[in-house]
Amino acid sequence: MTEATKIRAQALGNKTTVRILMSHEMESGQRKDAAGKIIPSWFIQELTATLNGRFMFSAEFGPSVSKNPYLQFVIKGGKAGDKLSFSWRDNKGATRTDEATVT
């Protein structure tokens, strides 16, 4: 299993800056190993984000996203104590959900 997603969320005024770092190898399926065999693709396909249990957004990724994807975005609203949740699913069916509290 992968390491926990690192989440930082800081409210300032009426905006909250969110930073997430997902731990995942993100293999494209185009590289070869030392024996010359193609390394199978393995990447996050879908990311879903919620704030206090309410859907915020979802994103679809493909094999061209780099290892350990990092996202940063700003949302309107959000205050200290709000709960953020991020769930992802990769192309092999593995899933992970991690939560953080806005500071």
Determine the pLDDT at residue 1. 53
Residues in the chain: 103
| Closest to 59 (Cα-Cα) out of 51, 71, 42 | 71
pLDDT of residue 42 exceeding 90, the answer is yes
Fold of 6-101: Immunoglobulin-like (2.60.40)
Contacts of 29 (CB under 8 A, 6+ apart): 38, 39, 40, 41, 42, 63
Q: What tens digit of pLDDT does each residue of 45-54 get? A: 999 999 999 9
Q: What tens digit of pLDDT does each residue of 2-30 get? A: 688 999 999 999 999 999 999 999 999 99
Which residues partner with 89 through β-bridges?
46, 95
